[in-house]
Structure 1
Amino acid sequence: MNAIDYSAVDAVADLAGAGRDVVRRTGSTALTPAQLDDRAIIPYADGANRRLVDAFRELRTRLLATASDNFITLVAPVSAGSGGSYVARNLAVTLTFDPTKSALLIDCNLRRPSQHQSMRVDACNGGLVNYLEDPDAEVESMLYDTGIPRLQLIPAGRSRQGEVETEYFASFRMRLLLDSLRSSYADRYIFLDSPPALGAPDARMLSEMADVVVLVAGYGRNTAADIAAAAGNFDPGKFAGVVFNENA
């Protein structure tokens, strides 16, 4: 895969404040503008945030240009508080603007999960870590509707063993899960909400299973040295570029 030349993703940088088949369950409930705002999700319709929406649409279009098939995108913040979860969530939402495509967001930040809270999802059946710990767990129980058509969430879940192990991301079961989720539906695009790229190897390990990597830098938070160090963790052939984000 050819890397995208994002020497400056100006539109988003300035505005983004940025082993079995899986049964598809698609929600049909459209969220109201107030509910979208409550979840920090960009709106579908024209309005005051149109430039922000277009910025995400532009980023989505650039990612889609990298491959003809569905792919896995790792969205990794440089550090905690950079807004990686916000960008991952809304980039996944933007894929669903196209009625021929669906998206799956997976919260891989096992130590500081946030997507189920942000999206107001009651993760009563657990999530990713529960699936990885339990060989008898079924993928279907981990897929949650979000209120946005064609967008599902796999939350991080809660470990039954207490301490979360980084080695989960190096496991065969993790790789098998992603392969199964992607191969089940040709129109499904997967977004991994990653732990920070600096301070732990988690993001680098996840990037080995992704096709493309988007790095999120907190605007005014991360230095050029931080960004360069974080970017150095990833395969240049997968690295799409940096999004400067103002939203936590």
Structure 2
Amino acid sequence: MNDHDRDDRHERRLPLAGARQEQALTTRQLEERRLIHRHESVRTHADAFRELRTRLIALAGGPQGESRNFVTLVAPVRHGCGGSYVARNLAAAFAFDDTKQALLIDCDATHPAQGDALQVSAERGGLIDYLENDALSLDDVVYPTGVPRLKLIPAGRIRETPGESFSAFRMRAMIDSLRAHQGNRHLILDGSPVQGSPDARILSDLADLVVLVVGYGQVGTEAIDKAVASFPPEKFAGVVFNRRP
């Protein structure tokens, strides 16, 4: 590949910001993917995620919360708390706003969920593939979801111990690049469970805010307190008690 080809490839990468058009999902397809939408049938859930979005914006920004984009880590206390469900719908809530873009990044390389949930076939690979293969570009691993203004980076290949990849320079450079190239893009990291792994704590170094997900009735107070203590206090946004796995 010559320098001219590299330049062309870089220019083709720019539509990552969300300029590409895609077929929007129907209401039935959204519900199959367990995604909130604008219709009355899921109004309670949609309003809850809108409220969470509003609170995060207020925490991250100025008086109106509109001063900058930010990165939110959504991490469950343990597997089965529904962290991926919360992360997916928080991203959808950001995408509701016509002035915002949302990028959901599946960082749970041990139990990846978002590709299957959103019915995205990651034929070019995902996050772990990108971090381990310099030949892949960001554009290669960002996929449309059928939800306007919402893109997905799936986890890609399964890794039992992905923490080293998350702490590598390429991961931080990826996050910085995604933030810098579009000022209205909000990044949602679907993180690994806090219990049993350092991965969520490692990912919190890349995030501006952390949301802890607790399965309603599944986790005791002591476990919640211990999970909260895993994150920097200045980044901790709060706890979501989730009834849905």
Superposition TM-score, scaled by structure 2 size? 0.89
Distance 1:229 1:163 in 2: 23
Distance 1:22 1:170 in 2: 26
Matched residue, 1:23: 15
Partner residue of 1:61 out of 54, 59, 80: 54
Q: Aligned partner of 1:107: which letter?
A: D
- Map residues 1-248 of structure 1 onto 2, 5 A cutoff: 22-24=14-16, 25=18, 26-45=20-39, 47-66=40-59, 67=61, 68-158=67-157, 164-248=161-245
Distance 2:87 2:160 in 1: 25
Matched residue, 1:6: none
Q: State the percentage of identical aligned residues.
A: 50
SS at match of 1:23: helix
Greater helix share, structure number: 2
SS at match of 2:222: helix
1:96-116: CA deviation from partner (whole Å, max 9, x where unpaired): 111010000000000110100
1:162-218: CA deviation from partner (whole Å, max 9, x where unpaired): 754320111000000000011010010000000001111000000001000000000
Matched residue, 1:10: none
Distance 2:212 2:58 in 1: 18
Distance 2:240 2:197 in 1: 21
Q: CA deviation at 1:50?
A: 1.1
Distance 1:232 1:77 in 2: 14
SS at match of 1:243: strand
More RCO (CA 8 Å, sep 6+): 1
Q: Which runs of 5+ in 2 are unaligned?
A: 1-9, 62-66
How many residues align? The count is: 226
Q: CA deviation at 1:43?
A: 1.6
SS at match of 2:214: strand
Aligned-CA RMSD value = 1.4
Q: Indicate if the aligned counterparts of 2:210 and 2:237 stay in contact, CA closer than 8 A.
A: yes
1:16-51: CA deviation from partner (whole Å, max 9, x where unpaired): xxxx77532444322111101110101222x13212
Q: Aligned partner of 1:149: which letter?
A: P
Indicate how the Cα distance of structure 1 residues 165 and 87 shifts in structure 2: closer, same or farther if over 3 A, else same.
Answer: closer
Distance 1:165 1:110 in 2: 7
Q: Which runs of 5+ in 1 are unaligned?
A: 1-19
Distance 2:103 2:21 in 1: 12
Runs of 4+ in 1 over 6 A off after TM superposition: none
